[in-house]
Structure 1
């Protein structure tokens, strides 16, 4: 039996996936993410994997690394790399409960990226049940901090990927159903304005508002956006008392750049804004950065295999470079053949309408099983 013909069942996968979705795992709640890791570890162990829990660092949850029995275990093989943290805070299930209707399934993190991770687990389950073997040893690595730029586990991912024949990332499929074979750089920056406090009622003119200064800076920064390098301020923290002129304001910027030169120009333009203006100091600190990943021959060879499998299954698999950022930035930039966004189809990731197309569970499980049994 060919791996693409294995008996995958959408309803069975939904039943297995539901506990994952109902185990909320926002990045900043280390205990919640670790509970999700324990759940995934249980399911991986149940299909024959040996699971190692990697302690969390920098305040984040644990990671898990699962290896499957193989005659060549320890030799270069296939790394399935995914994250089990989500952007949805605890309590999101009240607004976005797991539900299935009209060929779609909703829930926090179901598209990004618990659905894709579960599909690959199910692929390994069905491969084992059918008595098939993968030509190469397979390792799963699930990490807890991707949604905030992978500040704690980048080295873990890079160490796991180094020397592998292939890295597969079940991130959600692109809007056209396609895979990702390269990614733009994603850089984060921390902004700080420091003004002068005063009483807002009777000494307003004596103060220098850090909030007002930050507001002007935000408009200035976002106006620097071009097609090749974007800037978006997504977090602002300031103020405690409305009757006090705020002396400090912090914000976070996300920048996307298509090439390294675009990123370099963007960084230079942003950092040039630093300094003092009207009694308010403005400081920019660079945070975590996902490097540019450009398509390479090894990745294109993986894409050829995937497209051949997709044709057998009955769908097209377009591909291209994309923004958004993923841990594929790291493995692809290392030169390891990497195929990204081969997870489930859906819409609304990072929103209260996050959902997947149920039929894509079987479609992508067949693709996963084919890749795992054909990559050599």
Structure 2
């Protein structure tokens, strides 16, 4: 029996424990920007991760929130994930973890608490973790505003980054991800009585509406430009002096994000007396196959040697922290977490029957990175 075959068998023996860990982790709610709940969840993960790696975590406090880092001195591989979810505190009470056959449901079960359980299991299965780092952040769902420098710092000192975000529902890994931008555009007008002398005002709602319609034309094949939030005005009888709208942009290439960024920042007022100000910008450049291709090949080799079903790579429209690490040119592979779907929705689910094999695949990939196969 080969080393990788032994890893697969050992992972399968942990199937029941993995489900119970997932149940416990989902019950530890970790809503965005909630220090009390995030700290309690971090305490749990700190115990689990330290027991597996045999070295203490460094708790990195950023904006009052706890991020967990188990760094390696000579970091050949970084496992990267996040334990925050999109679900507010109290969600688990009304929608608790449930298991029907092999299908587990509950807040954050797929995005990405199953991935965390699989990463910890994979670390148990790897022979030597002295060159493997683990970073679990808690602000990914809000755009990683505080943890981004930490992520980039750890990626820069790593030979490869493996991200425990969910795979597709069919189990494909994610070799490319769209980059994204978010803009908040504020329109400044002038208030006036809407019924008596509207002509004295500068209607910020009208000005904003003109730009909301205009930015849609910045979209191109594969690039989406979507107006989202819109707020304006104070009372029904007042010409609005202020309006604000947000724009979500997604694109497959850095050049496209830069193109749209220039167009949005180039918007000019349409109504006399109106002015515009801009907030936000490019958040994540795309993850591209140039930095993921070799790791996909190693994952496919690991799966083949373990006797697993062939694993493919796909492009995913959503962004993740893999975009940060891949943009640095560090080899990065995403989608190594749970096989499931419905992320951010009430039908979120994960296939627990596949958790052991995915943990084994991740462990096998780490082994091949640490001990590269000889090329003929």
Query: Aligning the two structures, in what range does the TM-score lie when normalised by the shorter sequence?
Result: 0.7 to 0.9
Equivalent of 2:10 in 3, 6, 9: 6
Q: Give the drift of 1:169.
A: 0.1
- Runs of 5+ consecutive residues of structure 2 not aligned to the other structure: 371-376
The aligned counterpart of 2:21 is 16
Deviation string, structure 1 residues 248-282 (Cα, Å, up to 9, x no partner): 23332221111122122212222222324255433
> Structure 1: how far apart are the matches of 2:140 and 2:357?
25
Check 1:219–1:31 CA distance in 2 against 1; reply closer, same or farther (3 A cut).
Answer: farther
Equivalent of residue 306 in structure 1, options 290, 299, 303: 299
Deviation at 1:286, TM superposition (A): 3.3
The 1:56–1:319 alpha-carbon spacing in structure 2 relative to 1, beyond 3 Å, is: same
Structure 1 position 196 matched with structure 2 position 202: no
Tell me the secondary structure at the aligned position of residue 289 of structure 2.
coil
Give the SS at the match of 1:62. Answer: strand
Shift of 1:173: 0.4
Greater shift in the superposed pair: 272-281 or 41-50: 272-281
Shift of the 89–206 alpha-carbon distance from structure 1 to 2, 3 Å rule, reads: farther
TM-score w.r.t. the length of structure 2 is 0.87
Aligned to 2:373: none
Structure 2 residue aligned with 1:51: 57
Which of 313, 319, 324 is the matching residue for 1:319?
313
State the match for 1:113 in structure 2: 112
Provide, for residues 130-176 of structure 1, a one-character-per-residue CA deviation record: whole Å limited to 9, x for no partner.
Answer: xx623761111011222222221111111111131211001110344
Deviates more, 1:358-367 or 1:195-204: 195-204
2:132 equivalent among 133, 138, 160: 138
Please tell me the root mean square deviation across aligned C-alpha atoms, in Å: 2.5
The answer to whether the Cα contact below 8 Å between 2:75 and 2:133 also exists between their aligned partners in 1 is no
Question: Does the CA-based 8 Å contact 1:109-1:354 persist in structure 2?
Answer: yes
The CA distance in 2 between the partners of 1:83 and 1:176, in whole Å, is 22
Per mean C-alpha deviation after superposition, the further-off stretch among 195-204 and 325-334 is 195-204
- Gap regions ≥5 residues in structure 1: 68-72
CA distance, structure 2, for counterparts of residue 328 and residue 246 of structure 1: 41
The alpha-carbon distance between structure 1 residues 216 and 315, as it changes in their structure 2 partners (threshold 3 A), is farther
> Please, which of 29, 36, 51 is the counterpart of residue 34 of structure 2?
29
Separation in 2, partners of 1:286, 1:46? 40
Change beyond 3 A, Cα 1:348–1:214: farther
Tell me the distance in 1 between the aligned counterparts of 2:92 and 2:129: 40
Provide the C-alpha distance between the structure 2 equivalents of 1:24 and 1:213, rounded to a whole number of angstroms: 42
SS at match of 1:284: strand
Name the CA distance, whole Å, in 2 between partners of 1:165 and 1:302. 11
Residue of structure 2 equivalent to 1:180: 174
Structure 1 residues 252 and 96, CA gap change in structure 2 (3 angstroms): farther
Report the equivalent of 1:66: 70
- Corresponding pairs, count: 363
Residue 84 of structure 2 corresponds to 85
Assess, with a 3 A threshold, how the Cα gap between structure 1 residues 357 and 224 changes in structure 2: closer, same or farther: same
Q: Describe the SS at the equivalent of 1:352.
A: coil
Shift in CA distance, 275/13, structure 1 to aligned 2, threshold 3 Å = same
Q: Which residue of 2 aligns with 1:70?
A: none
Using the alignment, how far apart are the partners of 2:36 and 2:364 within structure 1?
Answer: 35
Task: Write the distance in 1 (CA, Å) between the matches of 2:100 and 2:178.
Answer: 35
Contact (CA 8 Å) 1:332, 1:338: kept in 2 or not?
A: yes
Q: Which residue of 2 aligns with 1:166?
A: 160
CA distance in 2, matches of 1:213, 1:164: 48
Contact kept? 2:190, 2:239, Cα under 8 Å: yes
1:343 to 312, 321, 337: 337
Corresponding residue of 1:234: 228
